[in-house]
Structure 1
């Protein structure tokens, strides 16, 4: 698997080339995917990205883009003036609509998400992307599963006991809830925040991916 910095470098170069060639591609709505820990959401995201030819941005990539000032600057500079103005408007609207007082890091994170949304043709996993991008630019998905299935999945994936897996699931779930509550004043589990909710307790990864592809196709 490629290192995160290599994945980011390749992505930024693609965007830079598109801008230099002045490709006026109509942005496609971005799929934002929120998931319960252990639900297989990341696997669903990868399957959807592969089938639809989308760029996949998981949490670690977005964090790395936002935490390195030079990388953030390069990401923003892949946009033209109109694109930069647009993401500033999106971020301002998100802050105003939700009465947010985000710190500087949160603002940078939101601008990075906005840049990805402006380029389009992507699926963003986590980081509250569904609260940043406007309705016309995103399709919001949440992947859930029963606790037992999630615990079993984590125990098997990491080779740990079910007791430790349950602690890990609950800790991660608590962290994600706190992140969304702190930065977006919302409940990550509120169904009103999503356009589609899929339960991998009854759906296979393939079936969940098919449902998403059909919905956005």
Structure 2
């Protein structure tokens, strides 16, 4: 998603409204159960973005796509505000996550610090879907369902042609470039292979399952998995 001045204003509004909702929730005095997160990684053209949108509607939870997370992470003031919306219990969990990450990764840029704040903050609030931006590697496995969307190259090329009306050569060029960028991002900052199935709970091949079927699979896995309270280990 290209961020233009118009979409930037739209993203700012979305972020501001979400922060206000979190601030209201933080003031409510009730014991919060564990509220897990779905993280969606995807090969370009495999349908991950569409899956995330439909899944958010099906589960009635918040959706944070890569553009939103990216914009928040670039703005240190906003990423700090997200942390400030956490209550004391959430902040304790959040601090544990960040400390664990710091022990395993040497962040090269300030941006990554903001990114971990953003994803960690969303994870601490829970009840959300996060698309891309390394969320599968930032959040602990106890609180997230990690999904990878894949498909053969030709299937993905056909999907991009239908979605954007471009030529086959242009579709292939976009896919190869985007896939290379995503793999490099994960490899550089998390020392991982984004296509390794062991890094995920579900790997769905959209050549064999259409998006509606994929939504049912993820929704069922999300609902049936036994979620452990992260604080139980404390």
Matches of 1:142 and 1:207, distance apart in 2: 15
Contact 1:100 1:184 in 2 (8 A): no
- 1:23 Cα deviation after fit: 4.2
Q: 2:215 aligns with which of 203, 209, 213?
A: 209
Aligned to 1:163: 169
**Which residue matches 1:46?**
53
Structure 1 residue 6: deviation in Å?
Answer: 1.4
Contact 2:122–2:128 (8 Å) recurs in 1: yes
CA separation in 1, counterparts of 2:198 and 2:14? 33
1:88 aligned residue (84, 95, 103): 95
Distance 1:133 1:43 in 2: 22
Kept in 1: contact 2:152–2:207 (CA 8 A): yes
Alignment of 1:32-181 (within 5 A): 32-97=39-104, 99-181=105-187
Contact 2:76–2:114 under 8 Å retained in 1: no
* SS in structure 2 at match of 1:27: coil
What SS does the aligned partner of 2:133 have? coil
CA distance in 1, matches of 2:134, 2:29: 30
Where does structure 1 lack aligned partners over 5 or more consecutive residues? none
- Match of 1:25, SS state, is coil
TM-score (norm 2): 0.88
Inter-partner Cα distance in structure 2 for 1:161 and 1:91? 44
Q: Counterparts of 2:151 and 2:198 in 1: how far apart (Å)?
A: 18
Q: Which of 194, 205, 221 pairs up with 1:188?
A: 194
Q: Structure 1 residues 23, 12: CA separation in 2 closer, same or farther (over 3 Å shift)?
A: farther
Q: How many residues are treated as equivalent by the alignment? A: 216
Over aligned residue pairs, what C-alpha RMSD do you find?
Answer: 1.5
2:53–2:63 CA contact under 8 A, matched in 1: yes
CA distance in structure 1 between the aligned counterparts of 2:194 and 2:30, rounded to whole angstroms: 36
CA contact (8 A) 1:56 1:124 kept: yes
Show structure 2 runs of 5+ residues with no match.
1-6, 224-234
State the Cα distance separating 1:103 from its structure 2 match. Answer: 2.2
Displacement of 1:7 in angstroms is 1.1
What is the rounded CA distance, in whole Å, between the counterparts of 2:76 and 2:134 in structure 1?
21
The answer on whether the counterparts of 1:139 and 1:195 sit within 8 Å (CA) in structure 2 is yes
Runs of at least 4 residues of structure 1 off by over 4 A?
none
